[in-house]
Amino acid sequence: MYRSDGIISYTKSEVESDKKLANYLGILLVRIVVISKDKLLDNNTLFSYEAKGDSIFVNQAKNLVIYVNSIQK
């Protein structure tokens, strides 16, 4: 499981408790992220990525998206 934090970051519970905020932000509460050997599929969009430790860096045009492993041990 990975989570994506943009420039503005909210927790899932914050967004779920405020539907107007979710609509304003235009984000999906459920995201499908599939990670293969050298590609990452995020909501049917394919990207190349660079893995560093527990993080995955994805370059999306002008934005750099960082997916952080959110599984707690």
The residue with tokens 């405020």 is: 18
Range with the poorest average pLDDT among 3-7, 20-24, 26-30, 50-54:
3-7
Q: Where are the alpha helices (DSSP H) in 1-73?
A: 12-17, 19-25
Q: What is the pLDDT of residues 28-59, one digit of tens each?
A: 556 677 778 778 887 788 888 887 777 777 76
Q: Retrieve residue 41's tokens.
A: 């599929």
Question: Which pLDDT does position 17 carry in this prediction?
Answer: 76
Phi, psi dihedral angles at 8 (to 5 degrees): -105, 130
Distance of alpha carbon 73 from alpha carbon 1, whole angstroms = 13
